[in-house]
Each structure stands twice: as structure tokens, then as C-alpha cells.
């Protein structure tokens, strides 16, 4: 990649709506990749931002689906859906655990872009991590700056 | 929001000092919002950065105060203030747990800005998460780029 | 620091290769600092991005080495290397725990730059957190925008 300098940065902003099937990881790498390609910015930085407090973002291995299952199982284990543990229980047994899982993972991710693609590693994918039991539509804001 | 492209990005940088009353969450959303408004940048990206290793940042639900209490209780439970668990104990029983809580949450947050406002979801607020028992003054650097 | 506005943002992108000796924290603050200095951008924002799913990034205290040891011990305790806990075990007992530790920490960090230096607090350093038992070479992409 080397060291390169580029003048007069531009920016672009967009929105993705992602359907989640309930708890677990939904990969969005291709959708973000396609959006980046359409912006005509070859070198820059993209920020992926989720506008929710009961679903979050992760960059994780996207090769073996068992990784996604183990991740979901792990977070269920360290953040039990046991209403006796929490005072905020009015929105259901999965709501307060969802907020805690968001605190432990990410709401915003910034990824450099080079040659019109995110510089993700070979095994890296971007995922929406849904923490509520029921399906949801999640809003993701994309912000790209570069040249 | 749609897809929009904007040329010739500018930037602005500032500093917030936040008083915390000891362990727990202090909301700073309004202070960041007001700073963004003053910069005259309508569409862009703000980065909120905390210059400490015993207080961190979170984007969380700001509707029900019981969420903030449950979050604080959860982190106290998974990171016990028990000096027998740590070798770094010289700065008090709350110090090493504070560093671990910072590792589990965030030191930096980047949030897109649209129409002079951060694109926070309906229930999202930005919080300083103080991990030390005593009150502190925390320094937050704000960096905004956009047009 | 005050409030300052700067026009016509530029950007620069580079790559660091970091050798890790196996599990634990390797500080990279000086290497990132030196790269920032070479770019000739005095005020801006740097993003540090790791292209892996079994090593992550942390901003942590860099004064007392016992903090680094306690951090490593803590993550080993809450994410046990016990193959009976995971279904993804083909890549070794340290692989699935490595992915979980990445989910609990950071893959990307954005830090404001002022006067050609990152605005790190007095005790803050940037670390690569290696989660695999064996030494690895880790790729870090640096993206700097500013003036």
C-alpha cells in the first residue's frame, strides 16, 4: 500500500436498512462494499454507524458459520436473559441484555478504503449483531470521505 | 437521507471538560450537539475521544435511567473490585477494574452528522462512563470534518 | 486547544507490520506517532485499523506493565480456552477465544491529531492485543485526514 498523500477530500453519506431475523449475526459486507463502489471515491475512510441500542456492529470472521454461532452463544452466556438480574425489565427479558451486549460490542466502525474497496482482512466481514429475539429492521448510516 | 456527495471537506476541533460524580454514566449528548451546531458544518463526521484510561465512552439508551443503573451494576459484577484478583493494586481497588472496563467499552466514537445534528437514533445518547469511585474532571476531544 | 476551523482537508494512508510474540499486548504508540509526523498533517484525525480477527487494538495505560498483564489475565479468565465450550475448534483451542476477545475489544480506533501528535492522554498508549498463542505478523492500516 505504501505511503500516499491525496488532496482535497470529498465526502458522501447514505443509509442502509437491514432486516434481521432475530438474535444473531447478519453479514452486511457486500451491501457496504457495493455502496462504496457507487460513490466513486477510491481512497478514503468509511464509517458504518447503527442507530440503535439493542443491535450493534462487529467485524468478525466470515469464513466458518460456527464462529457466528459461538459468538452468539458466548454473549448469551455472559449476559443472561434473567429478569431477576436487572431493574429495567418493562420492555421484555431480552431488552436489558441487548443494551449490555451493545456496550460490549460496537455502535460505530471506521474502515479505510483503498482502490474503491474496504481494506478488510481476508477473513473479515461486517456484521449486524441483533440482540432482540424478534426480527427488526435496523438503520445503518454510511459516511465516506476520500478522493 | 439518500445518497449525497459533497466537495471540499473542512474540519474543526474542540475540547469539552466533563465533571463526573464518581462511578456511573454522565450524559454529554447536549454538550456535543451544541458544539456541533456552533461549527457551521452541516454534513460530516464527528469523533468524540476521551483522553483517559479509567473513564470511557458509550452510546446507550437515554430514555430510562434504570438502564444506566443496570449497565453500571453489570460492569461491577463482571469486573469485581477485588484486589486479590489483580497485580496492579497500588492506585486503589477501583483502578485496575477501571482499566478493564475501558477495554470492554469505548475510548473513541465516530458519528455521522446530517443537517447540523448527529444522526443518533431516537433512544441513543452519548455518555461518559466514569469507572473511578471519586469525582473526576474528564477531557474529551471533539473532531468534526464535513461541509 | 480551543475551537479552530481548517479548510481543504487532505489525507494520507499507510501500512504498519507488527510482530507479536504470542498472547498479550504489544505497544505501537511510537510507530504510529512517527508515521503521523512524516505525513506533514498537523491537525486532523487518524484511524488505526487491524486487518485480523484473532488480534485486536486497545488504548490503555502504558505506565505500569502490571496493567498489561492483568488485562491479559482478565480476558483469559472471561473467555476460557476450553474446547468443550465452542463448536469452532478446528483451528486450535486459542482460535475461537481469540475471535470473542476481538468482539469484546476493538478492530478500529480513531484519534484526533493536534500539532502533529495524537491527542493521547498522559497515560494512554496504543496496543496490539494478540490473542493467538504463537507469534504473528499483524497488518495495521493507518489513515490520516487533516491539514
User: Do the Cβ atoms of B70 and A88 come within 8 Å?
Assistant: yes
Check residue B8 and give its pLDDT: 82
Give the three cell numbers for residue C139. 497488518
Check residue C4 and give its pLDDT: 54
Check residue A6 and give its pLDDT: 57
User: Do the Cβ atoms of A124 and C52 come within 8 Å?
Assistant: yes
User: Do the Cβ atoms of A51 and B124 come within 8 Å?
Assistant: yes
- pLDDT tens across B69-78, in order? 999 999 999 9
- Does C60 reach chain B within 8 Å, measured CB to CB? yes
Judge whether C100 and C124 are in contact, CB under 8 Å.
no
* Mean predicted confidence (pLDDT) in B57-62: 96
Check residue C66 and give its pLDDT: 95
Per-residue confidence band for B2, with pLDDT thresholds at 50, 70 and 90: very low
Check residue A33 and give its pLDDT: 98
How far apart are the CA of C43 and the nearest CA of chain B, in angstroms?
8
- Does A34 reach chain B within 8 Å, measured CB to CB? no
**Cα radius of gyration (chain C):** 17
What residues of A are in contact with residue C15 (Cβ under 8 Å)?
1-2
- pLDDT tens across A122-144, in order? 999 999 999 999 999 999 999 99
- pLDDT tens across C2-37, in order? 445 556 899 999 999 999 999 999 999 999 999 999
How many Cα atoms are found within 13 Å in the side-chain-facing hemisphere of A69? 8
* Mean predicted confidence (pLDDT) in A39-53: 96
Check residue B5 and give its pLDDT: 57
Is the per-residue pLDDT at B1 higher than 90?
no
- pLDDT tens across A78-103, in order? 999 999 999 999 999 999 999 999 99
Touching partners of C (3+ C-beta pairs < 8 Å): A, B
Q: How high does pLDDT run on average in chain A?
A: 94
Q: Return per-residue pLDDT of chain C as tens, 147 residues.
A: 444 555 689 999 999 999 999 999 999 999 999 999 999 999 999 999 999 999 999 999 999 999 999 999 999 999 999 999 999 999 999 999 999 999 999 999 999 999 999 999 999 999 999 999 999 999 999 999 999
User: Do the Cβ atoms of B108 and C61 come within 8 Å?
Assistant: no
Closest CA to B131 of B11, B31, B25: B25
In percent, the amount of chain A with pLDDT more than 90 equals 93
Higher pLDDT, B4 or B15: B15
Check residue C74 and give its pLDDT: 98
Is the per-residue pLDDT at A2 higher than 60?
no
* Mean predicted confidence (pLDDT) in B13-33: 97
Compare all CA atoms of chain C with the CA of B16 and give the residue at the minimum distance.
C2
User: Do the Cβ atoms of B53 and C121 come within 8 Å?
Assistant: yes
- pLDDT tens across B98-122, in order? 999 999 999 999 999 999 999 999 9
- Does C56 reach chain B within 8 Å, measured CB to CB? no
Substitution target in B67, B79, B102, B113 with the highest count of A β-carbons within 10 Å is: B67
Is the per-residue pLDDT at B83 higher than 70?
yes
Does this complex have an ipTM over 0.90? yes
User: Do the Cβ atoms of C121 and B88 come within 8 Å?
Assistant: no
Q: Annotate chain B with three-state secondary structure.
A: CCCEEECCCEEEEEEEEEEECCCEEEECHHHHHHHHHHHCCCCEEEEEEECCCCEEEEEEECCCHHHHHHHHHHHHHHCCCCHHHCCCCCCCCCHHHHHHHHHHCECEEEEEEECCEECCCCCEEEEEEECCCCCEEEEEEEEEEEC
A to B CB pairs, distance under 8 Å? 116
Check residue A8 and give its pLDDT: 81
What residues of A are in contact with residue C51 (Cβ under 8 Å)?
119-122, 124
Substitution target in C45, C56, C77 with the highest count of B β-carbons within 10 Å is: C45
Check residue B4 and give its pLDDT: 55
Substitution target in C110, C114, C120, C144 with the highest count of B β-carbons within 10 Å is: C110
DSSP sequence for chain C:
---EEE-S-EEEEEEEEEEE-SSEEEE-HHHHHHHHHHHT--SEEEEEEE--SSEEEEEEE-S-HHHHHHHHHHHHHHS---GGG-S--TT-TTHHHHHHHHHHSBSEEEEEEETTEE---TTEEEEEEE-SSS-EEEEEEEEEEE-
Beta strand pairing call for A136-146 and A44-50: antiparallel
Amino acid at each position: 500500500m505504501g505511503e500516499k498523500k491525496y488532496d482535497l477530500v470529498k465526502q458522501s453519506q447514505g443509509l442502509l436498512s437491514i432486516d434481521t431475523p432475530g438474535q444473531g449475526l447478519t453479514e452486511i459486507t457486500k451491501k457496504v462494499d457495493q455502496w462504496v463502489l457507487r460513490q466513486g471515491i477510491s481512497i478514503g475512510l468509511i464509517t458504518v454507524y447503527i442507530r440503535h441500542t439493542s443491535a450493534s456492529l462487529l467485524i468478525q470472521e466470515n469464513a466458518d458459520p460456527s464462529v457466528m454461532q459461538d459468538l452468539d452463544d458466548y454473549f448469551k452466556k455472559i449476559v443472561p436473559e434473567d429478569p431477576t438480574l436487572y431493574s429495567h425489565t418493562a420492555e421484555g427479558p431480552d431488552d436489558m441484555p441487548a443494551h449490555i451486549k451493545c456496550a460490549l460490542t460496537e455502535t460505530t466502525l471506521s474502515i479505510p478504503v483503498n482502490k474503491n474497496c474496504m481494506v478488510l482482512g481476508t477473513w473479515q466481514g461486517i456484521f449486524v449483531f441483533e440482540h432482540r429475539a424478534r426480527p427488526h429492521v435496523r438503520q445503518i448510516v454510511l459516511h465516506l470521505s476520500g478522493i
